[in-house]
Every structure is written in structure tokens, then in C-alpha cells.
Amino acid sequence: MQFTKAEEYGIMGVLYLAETDRDRVTPLSEISEAKDIPEKFLAKIFQSLSRTGIVRSHRGVRGGFTLSKDPGEITIMEVLEAIQGPYHLMKCIKDPDVCACSDFCALRELVIIAENRMAEVFKSHTLADMTKWQKAGAVLV
């Protein structure tokens, strides 16, 4: 499994917002420059994040983005799914009929186990966790 650039940039972008003052509207250009992300690509990602309620868009001269809720209430899974939709490692997990082994497949079963464990990690960690780790320079488990 490998994150897409959109997922990677999306997490980096919302993490940047989580590390700033919650009341401050942050321009997209600032996030783009700070995280070295192409601004046009980041704009598309933030449209998805805005549509799903992860971030709030502010228009006008002093426009930009804020998180829509506290970083401790936004899971990594929410961010990932806002960008790419439901997470599946193999197509046949969502739709078993796309596979010739539609009756039973040991590989699919193993991937479902792996997917569930990965989802558990992404659902159990928030942007607040990641900001703590970032400040500490380590994962504090």
C-alpha cells in the first residue's frame, strides 16, 4: 500500500492547519509554500476536504482555510476518505464479482484482515496525535 500524492499532501496540509491557531484563517499559498506542495494541486485537495467538512473555506481578500473542528476530533481515516473515498486495498473487497475467485479466496481474506487493522490505526489516531508527535520528533505511543 502506498499513499497517493493527494493523500500525502492532504494530510500534510491539514496537519499544518492543526499546528496553527484555530481562529486564524490560513491562506492556501502559505500552506503550499510551507509544505512545498503545488498550490493548484493543494486547492483541488482542499475542495474535497471542504466538501466533506474537514476544513472550512473562507472567501475574500483575507480568505483561506481553518479546520472545521478540533484536531482531536478529526481522524486520519476521515482525512484519507475525504480525499480518495472508501479505502480498499483490492477491488474485489468492495466488489467480489470482479474476481474469478468469487466463492472463496484466501488472499482476499488475508487482505481484509490487513485492511481492517490498517483502518483501525487510521481511525484511532487524530490530527492532534500527529501534532504531538511532530513537536516531540517521535511517535508517542
Give 92-117 as a DSSP string: HHH-GGGSS--S--HHHHHHHHHHHH
> Where does residue 85 fall: left (phi above 0), alpha (psi -120 to 50 degrees), or beta otherwise?
left
Least confident residue range of 12-16, 56-60, 85-89, 98-102: 98-102
Domains of the chain, earliest start first: 5-136 (1.10.10.10)
User: What is the per-residue pLDDT across 89-131, written as a single tens digit (0 to 9) for each?
Assistant: 777 777 777 777 767 788 888 988 998 999 999 999 999 999 9
Phi, psi of 18 (to 5 degrees): -65, -25
* Sequence-ordered list of residues with C-beta below 8 angstroms from that of 88, at least 6 positions apart, any chain: 94, 115
- Provide the grid cell at 95: 466488489
C-alpha cell at 72: 482531536
Over 90: is that where the pLDDT of 22 sits? no
Say whether 22 sits in a helix, a strand or coil: coil
**Are 15 and 7 a contacting pair, CB within 8 Å?**
no
Phi first, then psi: what are they for 126, rounded to 5°?
-115, 175
| Other beta carbons within 10 Å of 80 | 20
